[in-house]
Structures are given as structure tokens and as C-alpha cells.
Amino acid sequence: MTCDAIYKWSITWRMIINCDPGKTELIGFGTAENDAKLLPVSFHLGSNKILFVEKTKVLGLIMDRKLTYIDHAKDINRKILGRWATICKYTNRNWGFRQHVIVRLIEVLIYSRIHFAGTVWINNRSIKEVESAWYRTIKAALGAVFNVRLTTAEMILGVLPLNISNKVNSVKHILKLNIFPNKEDPLKHLIDDQMKSGSYSALTGKVKDVFQFLLWKSSILPEHFTNEDLKIINNHDLEKLTSLSIKGCSYSKSVMKHYSEQLWQSSINSQYQLEGYTEAPTVSATKLKFPPKTSRQLETLFLSLFYPNNIMNEFLHRFKSSKFD
């Protein structure tokens, strides 16, 4: 019935619908009966046959029937490796682009590619498909010859871990629903329905992350919140997210950087405590600065002092103070 209506509409307005594979496809994510066998194999639009597919690409995002986004993650992994191979033609641990240039290229060409629609596709399972390529780029940017721990390399370069940056992006995305209110926003209606139903979903977790940020922000910028805002946040009243004031939901680049570092530091503290350390390094998203004429080779040697198992077989934290007397 729907296909017939679309076909008649296209004939009326003299529009040609391209029904070739990859152009017009149908995908089903489930049925009310929870039985995928009820979905038809194909549909017809006039004399054209439209196939039912297992996955399809919409606005650059590959969606599969089970919404695992594994295929999208694999596609990103392939593209990251291709982009990094191109960058490697112009740099090495001994020559070429310097550290701040390489990190900037990672942020522009790779970081942005991973986080495109990241609030939709990134989850604990799909992100594992990208981690290997991400590790290779970070390791090469550091100039490491032997394997180095990813968390250590990220701290040295001042690059946020993927899970932290995606969490912050998700918080900003949801906050914008209040900063730029639109009564017809479908995401806003979806969040309201999910929160009122009381059922837990991935979206519920993202809203909880927003309240975690707002609770942190209220401790450093209490003047941004009304008494009603503070009551909603302290009571963790998820249903009233859209009732928060615009000023309370506002954020700046410096505020988000500070919050990102707080999340990052908390993650690093937990990791080091599990390994038996009493203290953990202090993280910062501020990049290391070298004198303008420092060579790439000298940068690499200096950076290697911050992690063990480096080519000089020296580690800054193993130095004895008597060496400097």
C-alpha cells in the first residue's frame, strides 16, 4: 500500500526513483512479534523490485539490522589505516612532521572520522574494531619502536581516549536540546518517552552522563543554575531533563576541556589503583611544546623518556636523584 502510494506520487510529479541496489533499499530492524521471518524478501515500486538488505548506508553511517554497527566500525578502521598510511609518507620517528603537526593531523583527519555520528554507533563492542588502528596511529605519532601502553601514549601526547571524547560529545549533543529548544525535535520526544517509561536503554545511560556533568558543573559554576535546576539535578530526576534552564545547560570550550580531563583522570586513577600503584600521573589535554627548531628525532628521544621499553632503555621515573647532584 505504501509503495503504491509512493509510486503514484512519483508518476504525478514526474519523478524517477532509482531502484538500483545501493540507491533504494529496504531494511527492517524488527517486528512487533519479534520474528524477523515475517519481513518480506522484497518490495515492488511499480515494475521495479526493491531488495530487502541486511545493512545499508545512510548519510555516511552503515546500519545493520541488529544495530551493532560492526560493519560501520570496520569501514572506519579501513579508512583510518588508509589516511594514516598517507601521513606516514611524510614523517618517521627520525624525520618529517614534528609531534604537534602529527597530533593535529590525527585530530583533523582521524579523530573527526571516528566521531562522525559517534553518539549513534560507538558502543563497547563496535569500538573494539577501531582500537587497533587507533593504537597504531598513536604509537607512530609518539615515535615508539617497541610496544607502548595506549593509555600512556595518549597521556604523553595529550590526546583524549576515544571513550572519553565520545562521552563528552554525547553530553554536548543532548544539552543542545535545551540550549536550542525545538518542540518538534524527535530526539527530544524520544528522550521524554524513554524517561517516563522507566525502562533502561542506551539512551538512559547517555542522559545519566548528562546529569553527571551537570552535577559537576553545579559545583564549580553554581551561579548558572536556578533553585529548580539544582533540585532536579540533585534528585537525579531524569524525566525533567528538558525542564532545565538554558544557562544551566550551557557550556564553553574551557568547561568541557576541564570536564574531559576530570573524566580522564578518574579513569587513569582507577586503572593504576587496580595495578597496585598508590599514585597515578596527572593527565592534561594540553599538548607538549618544544622549541621551534627541535628536530623530529630529538622530539622522539625526549618523548621516549616518559614510557618504559623504549629504544634508549632509559625511563624518566627510574632516574636516581644522585645523577643530577
Q: Note the pLDDT tens digit of each residue in 282-307.
A: 999 998 889 988 999 999 988 888 88
Confidence class for position 2, pLDDT limits 50, 70, 90: confident
SS3 31: coil
> How far apart, in whole angstroms, are the C-alpha atoms of residue 243 and residue 225?
12
**Which run of H or E residues covers position 231?**
helix 227-234
pLDDT value of position 324: 44
Q: Which range in 9-23, 175-189, 211-225 is most confidently predicted, on average pLDDT? A: 211-225
Tell me if 107 sits within 8 A of 154, measured CB to CB: no
Q: Which range in 4-13, 60-69, 176-185 is most confidently predicted, on average pLDDT? A: 60-69
Q: What is the pLDDT of residues 187-221, one digit of tens each?
A: 888 888 888 877 777 788 899 999 999 999 999 99
Residue type, 128: K
| 25-29, 141-145, 214-218: least confidently modelled range | 25-29
> How far apart, in whole angstroms, are the C-alpha atoms of residue 212 and residue 219?
11
DSSP state of 282: P
Q: What is the mean pLDDT of residues 121-142?
A: 91
Q: What is the mean pLDDT of residues 299-324?
A: 70
